[in-house]
Amino acid sequence: MIENNDNILEFPLRLSKICLLSIRDDNTFISPIAIEAAFHALSFNNKRLKNNFNKKIPFDFHNYFILNQDSIQIFHENLNEETIKYFNTEFQIHNLNDIEQRKFLLNQIIKHFTDQSLISILPSQKILEQIIVEPMTLLSCCSFVFRPFKIEHWKQLWSLKFHSNIHLSIETEFYYTKGFFHVAFHDTFHKIEIPGQVFNGIQMKLIILLPQCSSDLTHLYANIKEYLTLPVSSAYIAVCIPNISMDIHINLIESLKFFNDLYNKNHLGELNQEIHLSAAHSIGHFALDMSTDKIKQSSSNCLHSIDLSPTTPWVFFANRPFLFLITYDDYYLLIGQMLGPKIRQETKKFSSKIKR
């Protein structure tokens, strides 16, 4: 259910909020800017939108509209090259009856994703077969690796536990550092901005919203716009964050139904008229990259060193479920949730034996 105040949120936050709330039991993320670019490709006649998306953005995303010829009334083929240039979005049009040709097209798209290391897990055969027979499908793929600025200042820790809603508490890899960070404090959560790579003179940020307890995640979703704009101050603190790596496959079609009013046929211009998506999928991969020869290895327990050292500052310890965002200038590149570290396969097998 969407709250009444949801209609005042911008498109990226609204879409992300709905998608994440629909996935309560898994790590996931969405790239709102990639989905927004796909919608803007449908209204290509808007020059202001073209100028906004003609800037280089520091992450890989690709959008494909796989269309049946009978599902649209008008399509200008000469604009396809320009939609790729401005919005990284391509329109592939084939007759719905030509199943083999559509299957070949889809295999080529998936091969491109894997060759470029944009995804590491393939969509299921069931999903691929569904895409082939749908009148119109949006397939959106995004991949991003975040590297903290001055990565050599981080220390690797191994003996800490992440308190997950899904698998209770399990040990995982953490990274620890001390320094000046932009932070904000609230009664129900803490916020931190971790600086990342610099691209075209603009620094990316990893923003983490860490609730006081796991049950407050829903509260964060309900007030995400207000909390993201909460004023920050610079403070000398310690930061301990888990290793993050996740693959996603999200069925977007239900979430996108809430945005029909934003992109009605009056905004679609002459590119396509009365387009109706029958399916929409987002796939991709996100990882926190700490790989460097300079990173410090440590076998010490973070809690032990923090609790017993009188010189250690206050610690931002992300050892429970949290929301995270990757920002670049005014863009939300990714918005996601980290509910727990990925469990090794042997752990999963052991858990399944217990349930029997």
* pLDDT for residue 21: 82
Question: Is the Cα dihedral 30, 33, 34, 38 positive or negative?
Answer: positive
Q: Strands across the sheet with 279-288, in order? A: 89-94, 60-68, 136-146, 279-288, 245-251
Residue 88 · residue 81 · CB < 8 Å: no
pLDDT of res. 77: 64
Give the per-residue pLDDT at 266. 41
Read off the pLDDT of each residue in 20-27 and give the average, rounded to a whole number: 84
CA distance 141 to 154: 30
- Scan for tokens 């895409």, then name that residue: 131
Q: Which pLDDT band holds residue 188 (cuts at 50, 70, 90)? A: confident
Summarize pLDDT for 235-251 with one digit per residue, the tens.
Answer: 999 999 999 999 999 98
Contact 88, 70 (CB under 8 A): no
pLDDT (tens digit per residue) in 273-285: 456 778 899 999 9
Structure confidence by residue, pLDDT tens digits, 131-144: 888 888 899 999 99
Residue 81's pLDDT is what?
A: 79
CATH classification for the domain delimited by 148-244+290-336, as one of 1.10.10.10, 3.30.43.10, 3.10.129.10, 2.30.39.10: 2.30.39.10
pLDDT in tens, 50-62: 556 656 778 889 9
What distance in Å separates the CA atoms of residue 309 and residue 117, rounded to the nearest whole number?
Answer: 43
10-145+246-287 CATH: 3.30.497.10
Q: Is the pLDDT of residue 127 over 80?
A: yes
Scanning the structure block, which residue is given the tokens 């191994």?
158
Token couple for 331: 């863009």
Give me the sign of the Cα torsion angle 105, 107, 108, 113: positive
Q: What is the rounded CA–CA span in Å between residue 322 and residue 152? A: 25
Domain boundaries, the chain: 10-145+246-287, 148-244+290-336
Would the pLDDT of 158 be above 90? no
